[in-house]
Amino acid sequence: MTSFSIIFGILTVVLLVLVAGLVRVVGDKYALSAETQRKLVHVSVGIFALILPLFLDRKSFTVFALFALAALLLLRVAPIRKTYGAAVHSVERSSWGDILFLVSVSVLFFLAAGDPILYVLPLAVVTISDACAAVIGTEYGRRKFGTKDRTKSIEGTTVFFIVTWIVCVIIMILTPSIERENIIPLATIIAAFSALVEASSWRGLDNLFVPLGIFALLAFNPTNLIMQLLLAALFIVIMVASRIGASFLNLSAHACRSTVICLFLTVGLTSIFYAIFPLAALIANISLRNKTHPSDDTDLQLIVVMTLVGVFWLVAGRVTGYIAIEFYTNTFAALLAGLLMLHFTDSSKRVRWLAAITISGLVFILENILIVFGNTNISWLNRPSAWAISALAILSCVGITFFNRVTQRHIIYKITLVATLICTIGLLLAIQNSQKPVTFAQYFIQKI
């Protein structure tokens, strides 16, 4: 940790608070709407994020991100929220978009590996297009769609598509690695994909889904337009089908679409094998919520968990230089075990014990089968240690839910936190005892 990174982080906190306060003062003076004030802060922070690679390396950025997170959380504290933080949080709807934007910046910083287009393009879109769409949609949107706290407009979505297309074309023209004849079709694919994702997200999830989705489209051979078109077409078909599946699964339409986006990103950034346990956890959660009372908050919990757990292990692998994909699988296996155990909270003690043993054993076996077939068995982690970490995470989550009731608030967050902490400790111990390190780059070279 250098003195520069500490000073930079502190200045960032001060700057963010001052920008938010200044926007609030200007907004009150010129009677700017709450949405316009929020987007002015959004654009200011986005532009600042675009130039971060010019000043920070990995270690310095990590320090900066921690300070920035502290600043964002500070703006949510009641006294500050009503003054300096009013420009960000005066909008009536509930949103974690500011935190998720920081997560996006962090993920792209580590995954882009110095490639300008992989970092700049996703952030430019979520910074500029989202702000333009929000302002136009709020001020001039007449044809609305959506419900409750995620109302969108045809006008806003159209502006998002147009601005994204323009941003993509400009940045791609300045990028020598993309062939000129591919710029227009690739920009159109990205604009359509991003507009659909933005229109389908809620509670600020678009600040995470849009940049990561663009990264996924660009990261795997951006010049292969046939593959890009097939992926885009498949995504659109699945999104349309999700409207039918929402009623069948007893999910709200936007929750179902957000879940589809999350699974799509999981497959796009890893492989189809790694979507099996998240999908199984989703099904278990749907079954669980139907036993109680359907709630958008319950759906949001799992969507946030699915996204942030994947992001955490991607970044952990990049930061440490070791492959963390097996620990990602461990985390979701433990989450699945905990959710399955919650189905038996109203059963007799004997049935609960039988369920706990059965669920723990089956999930452990299925996880290790997936590791074998998914080729996630990392050579630097000996199998007895891997089994011990997996078993401890699964048994801990089953134990937590053994005596809990289904209606307990935030139970998904609690299960996931325990599983992630155990697997993180396992990763650190594995790295410490490692004799044969395998880097992130080596892993993808082997996969290709």
- Only one residue has tokens 């287009």, namely 117
Contacts of 231 (CB under 8 A, 6+ apart): 217, 268
Which of residues 405 and 238 earns the better pLDDT score?
A: 238
- Backbone φ and ψ for 145, nearest 5 degrees, come out as -150, 160
Q: Is the pLDDT assigned to residue 405 strictly greater than 60?
A: no
Contacts of 41 (CB under 8 A, 6+ apart): 19, 20, 23, 87, 88
CA pair distance 154, 354, nearest whole angstrom: 53
Q: Is the pLDDT assigned to residue 94 strictly greater than 50?
A: yes
Q: Tens of pLDDT along 269-328?
A: 666 777 888 888 888 887 877 665 545 556 667 777 887 788 788 778 777 766 677 888
CA pair distance 438, 433, nearest whole angstrom: 13
What average pLDDT is seen over the chain? 76
Tell me the residue length of the chain.
448
CA pair distance 410, 88, nearest whole angstrom: 25
Q: Is the pLDDT assigned to residue 377 strictly greater than 60?
A: no
Q: How far is CA 46 from CA 15, 16, 51, 79, 272, in A?
A: 13, 11, 9, 25, 32
Closest CA to 190 of 160, 151, 154: 160
For 84, what's the count of Cα atoms within 13 Å in the CB-facing half-sphere?
17
Worst-scoring range by mean pLDDT, 141-145, 260-264, 402-406?
402-406
Q: Is the pLDDT assigned to residue 25 strictly greater than 60?
A: yes
CA pair distance 413, 415, nearest whole angstrom: 6
Q: Tens of pLDDT along 50-65?
A: 888 887 777 778 878 8
Torsion of CA 329, 372, 368, 337, to 10 degrees: 40
The pLDDT value given to residue 407: 47
CA pair distance 14, 19, nearest whole angstrom: 9
Closest CA to 95 of 38, 133, 157, 137: 38
130-165 CB burial, b ≥16 within 10 A, e <16 = bbbbbbbbbeebeeeeeeeebebbebbbbbbbebbb
List % helix, strand, coil for the chain (3-state, nearest 5): 80, 0, 20
The pLDDT value given to residue 435: 47
